[in-house]
Structure formats: C-alpha cells, structure tokens
Amino acid sequence: MDASPDFPVAFDNLRVWLRKENCLDETRALFVTCGDWDLRKMLPAQVKLTYGDTEVYYTFYSSRKQSLTPLTRSQSLDPIFKRWVNIKKVFTTVTKIPIEKGFNDLRQMLKALGIKHKGHLHSGRDDVRNIAKVMKKMATWTVLQPTS
C-alpha cells in the first residue's frame, strides 16, 4: 500500500479513465458495493476533506491530455458516483436469505451461495474479488439495477 497513490491522484486517475470510457454519467456504468456506506457517506466526506467546501476538485496534472470539469460545492460528485448496486440488498431480495447482524455480510453471502471466500476481509482487492463473485451469481438470477 505504500506505493499506492494518495486519494487526489487515485480519484483523478479514476475520473480520467471513466471519461475515456465515456462513463462519467450514470447511464453507461454502475458501481457494485457491499453496503451503501462507501458511496453514500465515505466518498463525499473524503472529497470534502480533500478539496474543501468551495471548488472541491480540479485536475491539475499537466501531463493529462483531457481536462476534467472542476466539481463545485453544488455539484459535489459526477453522476456515476450517485448510483450504485448494493449487492446485499440484491442478495436478500433474490435469495430471501436475511443477513444476520454481527457477522460479516460478505462471508454470509458467499457461504449461502456455496462460494469459497478468498483473501483477507476488508482488504480492498480481496473484497472486490469476492463481491464480484457474488455479483456474477446474482446476475445469473436477476438484472442488476441501482439500489441507491
């Protein structure tokens, strides 16, 4: 993790990639999360902490060929960051299996689906891989729609 970029660089890289793929609006892509907290609470709070209350984001890397529109206080985040699929909601709706409080949600879903958990809990890369396994299974049973 020491070699990982700080939030402003990582967020800039993500937005540049989303722009390149024509996915900054909410109609071309959809994030999948395991809960609502990351995109509903944490990302807006991190953006506010990093960029402040006024002009919260501006691409300042001169090596970028594409410039991104600065985010203002009223805009706050691109539309893509305001819609997502909470895979826990999809799981409980489709399987009718409740997620028990006090136990790891992701592990419960994987176990119920007969999928082996790999890696470490709360490790970003491992969680993404495991969430993707649940998502793929859910996508065979239903069309994934935004839950946010």
Q: What does the pLDDT look like over 87-112, one tens digit per residue?
A: 999 999 999 999 998 788 999 999 99
* CA-based nearest residue to 82, from 21, 38, 17: 38
pTM check: above 0.85: no
List, in sequence order, every residue forming a beta bridge with 71; answer none if it has no partner.
57
15 half-sphere exposure, CB direction, 13 A CA radius: 23
The span from the CA of 68 to the CA of 77, in Å, is: 12
User: What value does the mean pLDDT take over residues 56-82?
Assistant: 55
User: What value does the mean pLDDT take over residues 40-45?
Assistant: 88
